[in-house]
Structure 1
Amino acid sequence: MKIVLAEDNEILRKSLSFFLASKGFTVDQFSDGKEALNAIEANSYDLILTDINMPGISGMEITQYVRQSIGSDIPIIIFTSSGVEQTELDSFDIGANEFIAKPVSPAVLLVRINKLLNKRA
């Protein structure tokens, strides 16, 4: 299973990538939303993990682009440090499948990833 991980916090990105790789996933990491979006357009992925606030292009913009411009139903999980309820509601409105508040628990993330991937299978 191939995952895009778009997260500008280097420590979080590397630790989540290491954790997911240890669980058998292939993870392409990006610290910039535009680079992540370019990879999504050029490659086939099973899941997108994105921070909401990214340099270049935000996680919301990535989600909107994947849903509207590409027309893909690939599962998308959005991370944010914002505790604002409206942000979560907006994420679902534009097509995110899951929303996880930071700090991200790797164990909880894995459960949500497996749930989404099992739905698609």
Structure 2
Amino acid sequence: MKVLIIEDDAAIAANVYDYLESRGFQVDLAANGPAGLKFALSDAWDAILLDISLPGMDGLALCRALRQQAHRDTPVLMLTARDSLDDKLMGFSHGADDYLVKPFSLKEVGARLDALIKRYRGRVAAQALRFADLTLDLQTLAVERAGRPIKLQPKCLHILRLLMLAPDRVLTRQELETEVWGGEPPGSDTLRTHIYMLRKALTKPGDAELVETVHGLGYRLSTGNANAPQSS
């Protein structure tokens, strides 16, 4: 998952950066408002951590520009020392999705980010994920392709779920390994082996290949005939 931190306090930015990176996030930093807005519009982020008191353009103006001018709905978690109710309401009125007052716990930052990203991706109420002719039932974990039941080993199923949650993004090896194996990274060929088994299970003669290798980066779901990803 990709997170942008827009924060001018170098110590806070470094602490949050290190914590999120240790959890497998891809993280980038901006230290002022104009640079932050440029970064926010230059890539597809899963979430943005946004300070309010920024040089060049404050976080409120940045968030408003992101919503009203660029029409981006990327989840925004505001981090600020301003703790009054009026300050919080101002943040929400400018487009923030959540608000966390400094000083804060890094674990709470992580928990709030997880919740925001989950809701943004439709994982809170979704019953199934669909991509092209592939379906994953989130309740039963049953997988079907064109109505054909597919049996997967648990880790292959976990990898497929991650890919189906973000089919428009390349998931790096580090992201997948951290999500699937946690703090015990596997051997160098383990992920590749599971990707091979996943492809073999999903693809029969005549089927389009769905799991694409993006050399030097990672993997994503892709097919020339794929429909837009859906959830229900």
Please say whether Structure 1 and Structure 2 have the same fold, judged by a TM-score greater than 0.5. yes
Counterpart of 1:27 in structure 2 is 27
Counterpart of 2:99 in structure 1 is 99
* Residues 2-52 of structure 1: CA deviation (Å, up to 9, x unaligned): 111011110000010000000111111111111111111221211110101
How far apart in 2 are the matches of 1:28 and 1:40? 10
Task: Please give the secondary structure, in 2, of the residue aligned with 1:53.
Answer: coil
Counterpart of 1:16 in structure 2 is 16
Runs of 4+ in 1 over 2 A off after TM superposition: none
How far apart in 1 are the matches of 2:18 and 2:33? 20
How far apart in 1 are the matches of 2:71 and 2:30? 22
How far apart in 1 are the matches of 2:82 and 2:119? 28
* Residues 85-117 of structure 1: CA deviation (Å, up to 9, x unaligned): 211001111210000000121111111100011
Please give the residue correspondences for 1:1-121 in structure 2 after superposition, counting only pairs within 5 Å: 1-121=1-121
Number of equivalences: 121
Task: Please give the secondary structure, in 1, of the residue aligned with 2:29.
Answer: strand
Bigger CA radius of gyration: 2
How far apart in 2 are the matches of 1:78 and 1:42? 20
How far apart in 2 are the matches of 1:94 and 1:11? 26
By percentage of residues, which structure has more helix?
1
**Identity, % of aligned positions:** 28
How far apart in 2 are the matches of 1:13 and 1:45? 17
Structure 2 unaligned residues grouped into runs of 5+:
122-232
Structure 1 unaligned residues grouped into runs of 5+:
none
For normalisation by structure 1, the TM-score amounts to 0.96
How far apart in 2 are the matches of 1:55 and 1:25? 26
Q: Give the structure, 1 or 2, with the largest relative contact order (CA under 8 Å, sep 6 or more).
A: 1
For normalisation by structure 2, the TM-score amounts to 0.51
How far apart in 2 are the matches of 1:10 and 1:58? 16
